Amino acid sequence: MHKRFLLKALATAAFLPAALMAQAQDGKVTIGVTAGPHAQIAEVAKQVAAKQGLQVKLVEFGDFIQPNAALVAGDIDANIYQHQPFMDAQNKDRGYKLVPVAKAVNQQMGVYSKKVKNLQDLQSSARVGIPNDPTNGSRALMVLAKQGLITLKAGAGARASVLDITANPKKLKLVELEAAQLARSLDDLDAAAVNSSYAVAAGLKPQGDSLALEDVNTPYVTVLIATRAGHEKDADLQAFVKAYQSPEVAAFIATTFKGAYTPAW
């Protein structure tokens, strides 16, 4: 009995890699995206992939937390919405093991206003919205600091929070909101730092409507295709990456977003 059990166990163990390989090459992949531009771009990649025999299912999310939670849970195979510093923070703070698969697009955070034409015209105690997630919040603070509106503690960098503000000459009141709410809150705020995905979805043009844009050479600008560690080489996921980084997708980005987004590959 023991011998038969051992032989069965060995046979099962030998079969597992093949089963996993079959799972990785079943011609289907599920990709999470945030609603708006990332969903639009992924839809074009989906159409390109279909021509190559790959079935792509897109799942849209309305915030920056659920796409990674769904990825870790195995509900999706990859997602497209985050930059490396955000992924690093999620891995550290939540114990995730997420890794980049490929570069997707470049996008810059901008500061917008319906009340002033220049950020230097903000009045004392003006209300300025920033994202309430740590990574994008620090990103917004660095844009404001570059404009001379605030000063941050030396070395605060990617982990900067409102607690790291050492000078605030205009006594700005920083209002922390869900990133997805900021563009829609511009009527109630004096200004707001908005991620490009939500800005474009709200009809804002980063290159023309923003009063300030973050430096294009920062690691926050490049959005990644991300997955769980150990799945980077899955055949279907690699096939999707090839479809995403195709001339058809690049042309769609150029004609649709006109510089608000650019291919990062």
Domain ranges within the chain, ordered by starting residue = 28-106+221-263, 110-213
Whole-number Å distance between alpha carbons of 55 and 77? 13
pLDDT the model gives residue 57: 98
Determine the average pLDDT of the residues in 155-163: 87
Coil, strand or helix at 248: helix
Domain range 28-106+221-263, CATH class? alpha beta
Q: What is the CATH number of domain 110-213?
A: 3.40.190.10
| Matching residue, tokens 């030998």 | 14
Whole-number Å distance between alpha carbons of 123 and 118? 11
Q: Is the pLDDT of residue 222 over 50?
A: yes
Phi–psi pair at 55, nearest 5 degrees: -90, 120
Asked whether the domain spanning 110-213 has the same topology as the one spanning 28-106+221-263, the reply is: yes
Of residues 12 and 199, the one with the higher pLDDT is 199
pLDDT the model gives residue 157: 75
CA distances from residue 78 to 25, 114, 126, 209 in whole angstroms, order as listed: 15, 36, 40, 32
Determine the average pLDDT of the residues in 220-232: 96
127 confidence band (pLDDT: 50, 70, 90):
very high
> Helix 84-94 to helix 134-146 angle, to the nearest 10 degrees?
140
Q: Is the pLDDT of residue 10 over 80?
A: no
245 confidence band (pLDDT: 50, 70, 90):
very high
pLDDT the model gives residue 88: 94
pLDDT the model gives residue 141: 96
> Which pTM value belongs to this model?
0.74
